[in-house]
Structure 1
């Protein structure tokens, strides 16, 4: 267990630039731009405060949910590059012989890399997303105070919205990581063999498979095939009717209702198949890594 924790910690240290330092810099720039917009007169403080009193909860809900969506997209992109880079990093930086000298199997090393991609690395980005939401609410509340419309009760309402949206973002991240697990494992497994070339190969792989089906079985064109339909289905997180219904209403956001709706629309059979597929490809990659390095 200690070895696994150490290996996961190593992944965080080696990739903290993309998962911690970079996001913090982005939050700092965004926060600075917001403060600057108010201080140099680009935004009218009185007008902003008045807008926040018209439908304050909706303003905060939509704003924080927008931040959550942006950070989710950032996390997906960064995890893709992490799997293509992190699974091949030992070979590239000549650390392979060091890890081979320790009582840690190749399978365990690769599983801890995948575990880091599912736990600590997304957790850090989630913490930064919470920080960005906190700064957003802080700026908005100060605006209402300056405008003369803010009070302690209003701050309590904002805190309630913050908790609801934070829970919803956590649910989306958890379900998204489970849904995209086979993609992360496949990219990481390919990276053990071809290194960073796993990035273009993984992007082209669905097109190649669909083209092969079109050539062998026929069809209108390569992007109207069963395999392409499956890739499109697995590439997008299941829709949540609650989110669409809520956005067009004046009801407060209910994180439990949203989470329940999201979980109920997840194809858990596909999630299970994806988990098995991920373990299989990671095992194959570990065997390749072990045999190549032994030679």
Structure 2
């Protein structure tokens, strides 16, 4: 167990630039731009009436969701390149013989990389997203202070919003990692065999498989096959009807009254888990373990490793 923990920690050390240092730098730049926007008058914080107390809360709610979505996009792209790069890193830095001399199987080495991709690496980006919400929290409270509406009640409302949005982002992160696990494992397995060329191959592989079905079984074109329909389904992130309806209500809200219920993170999380295709999740986990095992056997048997 200690050896496996050390392997996961190694992944953190080798890739903290992409998952920790880089996001922290971007967060500092983003916060500086936000402060500058208020200090030079690019953002008008002078409001009256219902806008005085409601708009800052709405802006904070939507803003935190926006930041969370932006960080999730960053995480998705970074994890894709991590799987294509990290699973082949041992070949490039000539450490393959060292790890083969250790009492650690190739399967355990590859499994540690996937474990890092599911836990500590996305956990760092999620922590940065939460820190983004804290910084936005401060900006929202300062805006309310400028408007003269800052109070204990307003502070409590912002804290409640932060908790609900954070819970939703955490739930979405867990669901996304489980949903895209087979794709991550497949990219990593390809990388273990052919190195960084896994990136273009992983991007072209779905089209090649769909084209093969079109050639062998027929159809209108390569993008009108059962394979392509399934890929579209598996690539689309599961959504929650509660969250979709809430955002629609925000868009259609009256510009004076803003009679909108606060976002309920528990309701959104429950709805997301209730409507998740758990059968596909289970199949995806089995598929991921299988391809990682096959990749480890290839890595163990190939002589030039």
TM-score, shorter chain, exceeding 0.5 = yes
Name the counterpart of 2:81.
81
Deviation at 1:246, TM superposition (A): 1.4
* Consecutive unaligned residues in structure 1, runs of 5 or more: none
Where does 1:122-271 land on structure 2 (aligned, <5 Å)? 122-249=122-249, 250-271=260-281
Which segments of 5 or more consecutive residues in structure 2 lack a partner in the other structure?
250-259
CA distance in 1, matches of 2:101, 2:48: 61
Query: Which deviations, in whole Å up to 9, do the C-alpha atoms of 1:231-278 show, x marking residues without a partner?
Result: 000001122111121123322111111011111111110110010000
**In 2, Cα distance between the equivalents of 1:209 and 1:219?**
14
Separation in structure 2 between the aligned mates of residue 18 and residue 48 of structure 1, nearest angstrom: 43
Who is 1:281 aligned against? 291
C-alpha deviation, 1:54, in angstroms: 3.0
User: How much does 1:51 deviate?
Assistant: 4.6
Match of 2:254 in 1: none
Q: 1:286: Cα distance to partner?
A: 0.3
Aligned equivalents of 1:26, 1:48: Cα separation in 2: 34
Instruction: Give the direction of change, closer, same or farther, for the CA distance of 1:212–1:251 in structure 2 (3 Å limit).
Output: same
Answer yes or no: is the 8 Å Cα contact 2:52–2:147 preserved in 1.
no
Moved more, 228-237 or 135-144: 135-144
The separation in 1 between residues aligned to 2:76 and 2:270, in whole angstroms, is 22
Shift of residue 63 of structure 1?
1.2
Q: What TM-score, normalized by structure 1, do the two folds share?
A: 0.96
Alpha-carbon RMSD across the aligned residues, in angstroms, is: 1.6
What's the counterpart of residue 252 of structure 2?
A: none
Residue-by-residue CA offset, 1:120-158 (whole Å, 9 max, x unaligned):
001000000000011011111112112212112211110
Report if the CA contact (8 A) 1:239-1:262 is conserved. Answer: yes
- Aligned residue number for residue 106 of structure 2: 106
The answer on whether the counterparts of 1:50 and 1:144 sit within 8 Å (CA) in structure 2 is no
TM-score under structure 2 length normalisation: 0.93
Deviations 1:1-60 (A, max 9, x none): 111111111101100111001111111111000111111222234359985623443322
Aligned to 2:19: 19
Deviates further, 162-171 or 43-52: 43-52
* SS of the residue 1:237 aligns to: coil
Structure-2 separation of matches of 1:140 and 1:55: 10
Paired residues in the alignment total 295
